[in-house]
Structure 1
Amino acid sequence: MIQKLLIIAFISLPTVLQSANYQYTPNSQPILLIYNSNTLAPGIAPVYSSNGTTLAFGSSEDQSPDGAILPYETGDYYLLRIKSHDALTLLENSIPYVIIGQTVIVKATPEQAESLSRHGWGLTRLSPVDKAAQTIPDYSIPRITDADTSIANLISVITPQSSGQIIAALSSIATRYSYAQGCRQAEQYIFDEFDSLHLATSFFAYQYNNVTMRDVIGQLSGITHPESIIVVCGHLDCTSETPNQRAPGAEDNGTGTAAVMEAARALSGHRTDLTVRFVAFSGEEQGLIGSSYYASYLQGLGEKIVAVINVDMVGYSGLYEQDMHIFSDPGSYSLGALGAEILSTYTTLDSVPHYGSSPEYGSDHYSFAIRGYPSIFFIDAWDGFDWYPYYHTVADTLGNLNLEQQASITRAVAAMAATLARFQTNTGPSYLPGDANGSGDVTGLDVVFLVRYFKGMGPTPNPILSGDANGSCTTTGLDITYLVRYFKGIGPAPLYGNCR
């Protein structure tokens, strides 16, 4: 049981409810402060705002005219949406908390916070942040009115069957709980899929609660502005009532992970002006841990994040079929508007835009939005509108899903990434992979041409990458072996690599 602490009374803020009083103990760690939004001083970086109340970190309660929230030395601060105030009986005399509307703020250990998340949704760990410096003067969010035929063709490869195969593969792993070995298996599966697309693939590893977890990254580097980055992301981990034994996580978030992976497949091998980075996060169900660490890391590097598209739970349709909620904040309103335009242009889905006064917590876009990066969030239900009945249960399986809807939002995500990254519709590779002799077709004569080239008896392929049959972005003797296997019917067809 946690020792009781004093919570400073919020007489001027009637929207704030509170638990019993607790004894306040000063400490040197940053503490969460409460402000009336009208009293927020310049330079304060809010981590949450609602109904005129803002939360931000500081070193002393004297910094806030309205007081400190749970300045307790043990544990972290978390936000969580509660199903009902009745659920708070579980907290009395156990964990200190404050309520603002439907949001409960607690100071707890990782284990306590995760236990509480069974009685609500959107668990988010809070930490002090600074706004990222954005220096991309030559970029503005585009607007669209008509479909681009090239982009429509690009996204046509995404089908309910192809997305369904990924969701089935992910949910067949016994559990993708972040602490479980099954999550490491899922991370490797996604890594291998990104790698097979010839993306620049890597792990972002971090330690949390004595466990090494990994975000998975696949990157398509831009041609003109490789330093400017579009992030397409979703979380790969999941949970349930028995997370260590069984957590299939088909909807939450196999559907979002599949959307990221399918968007990567659609864009791979093509050229874009800007870089597109596909990321699958772990640690989301523990409070957005993987995305928080990663966003902080990118901020430290000074990376230029143009836009973040987060996809979380997009395969369930209930009474309000074929709708998709889009969340944005003041720093991403234009990005949210583009998301709605993309949905209406490239799909038959209805959009439900939410233009919030601050970043919506509860999914991985928050880790970027709170740092000032333009970020939006796609989800198929919200706060009573078709909320998924099998959320965080062992019954979250593939059979509950509408794969047509999931494929539609995936096509929209891919189209949005292509639009933002300035997909080069007329400047694709000017060669056919494997066509070393430039005849316009790939035949056995190309094998002869390459053999003569490597023996120094024949000319160089023009361009040199026309001899690159295996997509390695170099022309080597391995391409001869690749072509021979292809012609014998025991290997795949020649393919374009992610060559720049």
Structure 2
Amino acid sequence: MKYTIKIHSILAIALSLFWPLVAQPANPVIDSLIHLITYDSYVAHFDSLRTNNGHFRKVIEAEVQSADHDACRDYIFRSMQHVLGAENVSLHKFETGNYKGLANVIGIKKGSSPDCGFIIISAHYDSNNSNETQLTNCAPGANDNGTGLAALLEIARVLSEIETECSVIFAAWDFEEQMMYGFPVGSNHWFSHFVRNSKKKKADEVFPIKRKEIIANINFDMIGNPMETLDGKLVLWACLGNRSHKKFIDSYITIFNEYTQGISAINGGMIPYSDHYTFAARRIPAVENLESGFSDDPYYHTCNDNIENEKNINFSFATEVTRGGLAYILSQCLLKND
């Protein structure tokens, strides 16, 4: 891969003894587009996502869900409508057992080439509190998963402003925090009802697509609290160790690291949790963008996972993770002449 070096050659020789050379990204169009996502535009989503101390988006066994759960869902819905158009966004309502009032928010941006396929970008919007004494009073989920939702909405905003060759589906999943039949509930419901297998009859659902049309799933789940011992690292998780998945992850890491600054992505291996697993288990390339510190995060699934907690989220890190994810998406779906 060729790089264009900004420093003049003579000066570079002298400076190289002290500083590494700074390379330009391969595609300046991609570089300029990802920087439409700013720290301020990313952080601006959090109050409306109901991530403050005391907010509660945990799915409960009831006829209706909490006011915070529904307000978060409605904000995502309105935000997608604003950038994608009302006709391209829908609520996919569902229920399971005694859990009612659930809905995935799905938006679509159609590409210029019907043969290019779909990239699915996703994040879940329900939250959790695993402390038995606090099951009903708070679950703000600022990092888990307000950070992923802000990434989803920012990427939708930028992609809505440009023409792409491939189509993109934006999915805010409900009820990720509980697994049923081995899968997160919301994403598995959508896949089961809206992705048609070639052996089945044509579905009459909204946005039906064929399994073979899905290029990849890019999932964002907890991207705001990197572990100190892996400072500046984003851990990418896959599920299946087959050749196509490895090639996909390697490509994602290469592009992510080429366009981001101050952080880098590493391959964490396989993890059969979160919404990317819905796709990976069906042999569709999928990646989980997940912070390096989730296993040691003292605020994980507690009331302290809120935006008032200054130790909770590194917003600069999360903003850069969002840019890196967008860089990969643009590398796959930009028009060839861009």
Whether TM-score is above 0.5 comes out as yes
Tell me what 1:174 maps to: 55
What is the TM-score when the length of structure 2 is the normalising length? 0.77
Task: Give the SS at the match of 2:45.
Answer: helix
Give the drift of 1:161: 1.6
Once the two structures are superposed, the pairs formed by residues 342-491 of structure 1 within 5 Å of their partners are 342-348=255-261, 349-356=263-270, 360-381=271-292, 384=295, 387-398=296-307, 399=310, 400-423=312-335, 426=338
The 8 Å contact of residues 325 and 380 in structure 1, kept in 2 or not, is answered as: yes
Change over 3 Å in CA distance of 1:298–1:402 after alignment to 2: same
Residue 217 of structure 2 is matched in structure 1 by 308
1:163 Cα deviation from its structure 2 partner = 1.2
Query: Which deviations, in whole Å up to 9, do the C-alpha atoms of 1:190-218 show, x marking residues without a partner?
Result: 00000000341111111123312111111
Closer/same/farther in 2, CA of residues 268 and 425 from structure 1, 3 Å limit: farther
Tell whether the 8 Å contact from 2:125 to 2:173 is kept in structure 1 after alignment. Answer: yes
C-alpha distance 160-146 of structure 1, shift in aligned 2 (>3 A): closer
Distance 1:283 1:423 in 2: 35
Aligned with residue 195 of structure 2, among 299, 319, 333: 299
The structural deviation recorded for 1:417 is 1.4
Contact 1:333 1:355 in 2 (8 A): no
Please give the alpha-carbon distance, in whole angstroms, between the structure 2 residues aligned to 1:383 and 1:197: 31
Per the normalisation by structure 1, the TM-score is: 0.53
The secondary structure found in structure 1 opposite 2:304 is: coil
- Is residue 188 from structure 1 mapped to residue 102 from structure 2 by the alignment? no
- Residues 1:149 and 2:61 aligned together: no
In structure 2, relative to structure 1, the CA distance for the partners of 1:245 and 1:197 (3 Å cut) is same
Q: Do 2:116 and 2:165's aligned partners in 1 also have CA atoms closer than 8 Å?
A: no
Deviation at 1:244, TM superposition (A): 2.9
Provide the rounded CA distance (Å) in 2 between the counterparts of 1:339 and 1:177: 32
Residue 381 of structure 1 contacts residue 388 of structure 1 at CA under 8 Å; is this kept in 2?
no
Structure 1: segments with no counterpart, 5+ residues: 1-144, 427-500
Amino acid at match of 2:268: H
Are positions 1:239 and 2:128 aligned together?
yes
Q: Does 1:280 align with 2:172?
A: yes
Q: Which protein is bigger by CA-based radius of gyration?
A: 1
Q: How far off its partner does 1:226 sit?
A: 6.2
Q: How does 1:22-37 map to 2 (within 5 A)?
A: none
Residues 124 and 176 in structure 2, CA contact (< 8 A), matched pair in contact too: yes
Corresponding residue of 1:219: 108
Structure-to-structure mapping, 1:1-12, within 5 angstroms:
none
* 1:338 equivalent in structure 2: 251
**TM-aligned CA deviation for residue 337 of structure 1:** 1.0
Which shows bigger deviation, 282-291 or 197-206? 197-206
* Counterpart Cα distance in 1 of 2:77 and 2:31: 27
Runs of 4+ in 1 over 4 A off after TM superposition: none
- Give the whole-Å Cα distance in 2 for the aligned partners of 1:295 and 1:166: 27
* Equivalent pair of 2:225/2:294 in contact (CA under 8 Å): no
Give the partner amino acid of 1:316: N
The alpha-carbon deviation at position 365 of structure 1 amounts to 0.3
Match of 1:209 in 2: 97
Aligned residues: 277
**What's the CA shift for 1:378?**
1.0
State the 1:382 CA deviation. Answer: 5.9
Shift of 1:422: 2.8
Deviation at 1:221, TM superposition (A): 0.5
CA contact (8 A) 1:184 1:214 kept: no
Q: Deviations over 1:141-184 (max 9, x none)?
A: xxxx9431111111111112211121232113821112332212
1:345–1:299 distance in 2 versus 1, CA, 3 Å: same
SS at match of 1:152: helix
Equivalent position amino acid for 2:304 in 1: A
Q: What is the aligned-residue identity percentage?
A: 27
Whose RCO is larger (CA < 8 A, sep 6+)? Answer: 2
Q: In the alignment, what sits opposite 2:152?
A: 260
How far has the Cα of 1:318 moved from its partner?
A: 3.2
Counterparts in 2 of 1:203 and 1:425: CA distance versus 1, 3 Å:
farther
One-letter amino acid matched to 2:108: Q
